[in-house]
Amino acid sequence: MSDPSPPSRERRIVVLISGSGTNLQALIDAQNTPALPSSRISLVLSNRKAAYGLTRAAQANPPIPTAYLGLQPYLKANPGKTRDDYDVEVARIVARENPDLVVLAGWMHIMGDGFLDVVNGDRPYDGEQRVQKPIPVINLHPALPGAFDGAHAIERAYEAFQKGEIKHSGVMVHRVVKEVDRGQPVLVREVEILPGEPLEAFEERLHQVEWKLIVEGTRKVLDEAAPSSSPVSS
């Protein structure tokens, strides 16, 4: 009789949020299911204390550990520290989790070089300690590659459609690099804008796509970084 396959190692995910956490909820619902096998969200970190996503994490079954670190409170509590120091501190919290992947799911703070230098292993996070191998970081952005980088992408795309400048918008999951929303796309989906459609209706349809794509993108990058022994579902 052949030996059974060894159990796959659990893949650890850290999710960074700023708001209500609907994209986080999609990941919570998918963790350790066929959509996202052998995986667990080990930490949810928010830069806003009142972010409802922290409540979603705490109410998950089992509860997911949470952390909060706001830029302005950090700077006020640490005179002489800079925004770069804050980004390094965020990276330090992440690195201590030893995750296989970091997912920015509605994280409304542009990461500086300090964060990426730590997760890429180019800068120590505890004394001389560095991450053993680069930690992939992905972001969900409600626009197509090269279009509407930065904030308010949904509203800007909708306005551009009304002016006849574009025919559709979309959603992408992309790798995080030092240029905002310019990292290599992992997955891209087009989302149609219907003539006469209110902004709210377009936004709701786009969010439905986001919830699926963030899970699919997370699965794809995890399988590249830390494969699961579970078969890939179609």
Catalytic residue among 109, 141, 168, 207: 141
Q: What is the pLDDT of residue 229?
A: 63
Tally the residues of the chain.
234
pTM of the model: 0.91
- What percent of the chain stands above pLDDT 70? 93
Q: What is the pLDDT of residue 7?
A: 45
- Cis peptide before 198, with omega less than 30 degrees from 0? no
Determine whether 152 is exposed, middle or buried from the number of CB atoms within 10 Å of its CB (0-12, 13-18, 19+): exposed
Section 56-60 average pLDDT? 97
CA atoms within 13 A on the CB side of 97: 26
Is 141 catalytic? The answer is yes
pLDDT tens digits along 206-223 = 999 999 999 999 999 999
pLDDT tens digits along 122-144 = 999 888 899 989 999 999 999 99
Are 122 and 134 spatial neighbours (Cβ–Cβ below 8 Å)?
no
- How many DSSP H helices and E strands does the chain contain? 7, 7
Q: At what angle do helices 22-30 and 199-225 cross, to 10 degrees?
A: 40
Pairing between β-strand 168-175 and β-strand 137-141 as defined by DSSP bridges: antiparallel
